[in-house]
Amino acid sequence: MTADPVTASSAAPGAEYADTASAAYQAALQVIESVEPRIAAATRKELADQRDSLKLIASENYASPAVLLTMGTWLSDKYAEGTIGHRFYAGCQNVDVVESVAAEHARELFGAPYAYAQPHSGIDANLVAFWAILATRVEAPGLAELGAKHVNDLSEADWESLRNKLGNQRLLGMSLDAGGHLTHGFRPNISGKMFHQRSYGTDPETGLLDYDKLAAAAREFKPLILVGGYSAYPRRVNFAKLREIADEVGATLMVDMAHFAGLVAGKVFTGDENPVPFAHVTTTTTHKSLRGPRGGLVLAQPEYSDAVDKGCPMVLGGPLSHVMAAKAVALAEARQPSFQAYAQRVADNAKSLAEGFLKRGARLVTGGTDNHIVLLDVTSFGLTGRQAESALLDAGVVTNRNSIPADPNGAWYTSGIRFGTPALTTRGFGAAEFDRVAELVVDVLNNTQPTQASSGPSKAKYTLADGTAERIHAASAEMLAANPLYPGLTL
């Protein structure tokens, strides 16, 4: 089994790899320091902070030194608008190789007939997917009268006119408070302006997706695009059922698997829980559970490939060739047997974390998890998500506040905290450590008191009992020391 590229200790086979990486980073930071020492200092401090904190943000991970080093090359200097073999700039032969390798690994890893490696982020990937579906499905009349306006200057009436001109511009996606993403039709986002949008939620009692209600909503609304996927839903999804619903109403099924792509790549999600065979278009980020660089991918069935391939110049600018190279390296890592073992540990550890919360009396949305996400309802502690997030950060536990279904505190203050297991699993944490993490989190929240006011800015204010932060820091330091981040890497 291939050694994990992030957590392999300096005493293990391949210790010279850590030494080589250490020398590379030392040299790089010396060069940076000679030009702008504040940036070199902030970079060193970031590594120290990540080593010394419990990173539980579900959308973060630790990329390998190989992935990180790939981004710091002269591939960054090359413009390459267009597609493989068909660029608008000369001298792109090496970028063609990079993009081809990244797309090849993506196709093989996910079993997709087509892969597009250019998107700079998950939002970019979704925009490419949306416009590719529109270009394939809708015949739009001329839009010259709106073309002279900048997108930021379009009024709601302009957007309505645009949607009408494009025909069936309907999108049905998971609501933000149920666990969907802002790009799934949230009105302030561009996706909510492009489309006549409606949201589907979860059962108010269980917090679970109700496929019958979703099907009824699709029959009534008849969307052009049905969006599956989530950013804060702690359960698996049956994508075969979503495809049945989409086919029944004539919709294109688009799945955003940015959060759980690593569980798909690692063969934890198979059969009906693997979206790639069922979705017409699948989008993802390459970081999060996939443990690569920050960036995006689009996977598509053949009938959508030509339109997706026009992502640049449709909605993207010049591709980031150095990041595409890093995607290729990360995807190559994800094709190793060690990644499948890692992905299974991510899911197993999430169950351990959830069980640790439940046995200490905490309230979880849906009552548990069967993916990599645990969503904690902090109202039982008398706190808002903003208060809980800040108190945990004081104690060295890095999380993010998150809405819960029918959240009374809205999307800014929230009533939940979202936890994810990919990053600490990368560090080597197992069931015992995640149970201890649950204990420490509950300790912090039990020792956090909100201010008396219940509205306005006071929803963010809190007091943490004396000695709590120090106690939690000391306890977590033992686990972190036993599971070092980038061992052997010295700066």
If phi > 0 it is left, if psi is from -120 to 50 it is alpha, else beta; for residue 275 that is alpha
163 — pLDDT class (breaks 50, 70, 90): low
- Report d(CA 119, CA 312) in Å as an integer: 9
Write down the pLDDT at residue 190: 74
Task: Answer whether residue 145 shows pLDDT above 60.
Answer: no
Average pLDDT over residues 88-107: 97
Residue 12 is which amino acid? A
Q: What would the pLDDT profile of 239-282 be if each residue is shown by its tens digit?
A: 999 999 999 999 999 999 999 999 999 999 999 999 999 999 99
436 band by pLDDT with thresholds 50, 70 and 90: very high
pLDDT tens-digit series, residues 281-303? 999 999 999 999 999 999 999 99
Decide whether 74-138+169-334 matches 344-482 in CATH topology.
no
Q: What is the pLDDT of residue 142?
A: 43
Per the CB < 8 A criterion, the answer to whether 471 and 5 are in contact is no
pLDDT of residue 8: 47
* 12 — pLDDT class (breaks 50, 70, 90): very low
Query: 């053949």: which residue's tokens?
Result: 302
Residue corresponding to tokens 């609501």: 175
- Asked if pLDDT for residue 377 goes beyond 70, the answer is yes
Q: Which tokens go with 122? A: 């998950």
Burial of 309 (0-12, 13-18, 19+ CB in 10 A): buried
Distance separating the N- and C-terminal Cα atoms of the chain: 29
Active site residues: 79, 81, 256, 285, 288, 294
Could you give the C-alpha distances from 192 to 64, 143, 177, in angstroms and in order? 36, 19, 15
Out of 161-170, 368-377, 378-387, least confident range? 161-170
Classify 167 in phi/psi space as left (phi over 0), alpha (psi -120 to 50) or beta. Answer: left
* 290: its two tokens: 């996939």
Distance CA 384, CA 378 (A): 7
Length in residues, the chain? 491
Burial 75-105 (b: 16+ CB within 10 A, else e): beebbbbbbbeebeeeebeebbebbebbbeb
In the structure, what pLDDT confidence band is assigned to residue 456 with cuts at 50, 70 and 90? low
Segments in 315-369 forming alpha helices (H):
321-334, 337-358
One of 3.50.50.60, 3.40.309.10, 3.90.1150.10, 3.40.47.10 is the CATH number of 344-482, namely 3.90.1150.10
Lowest mean pLDDT among 13-22, 38-47, 193-202: 13-22
Q: How does residue 6 score in pLDDT terms, banded at 50, 70 and 90?
A: low
- pLDDT at residue 491, as a whole number: 81
**For range 314-327, the mean pLDDT:** 93
Res 195: pLDDT: 82
Per-residue pLDDT, 10: 33
What pLDDT, on the 0 to 100 scale, is given for residue 19? Answer: 80
Q: What is the mean pLDDT of the chain?
A: 89
Provide the whole-model pTM. Answer: 0.90
Helix (H, G, I), strand (E, B) or coil at 82: strand
CATH for 74-138+169-334? Answer: 3.40.640.10
Residue 313 confidence (pLDDT): 86
- Which of 426, 486, 483 is CA-nearest to residue 25? 486
Domain ranges for the chain: 74-138+169-334, 344-482
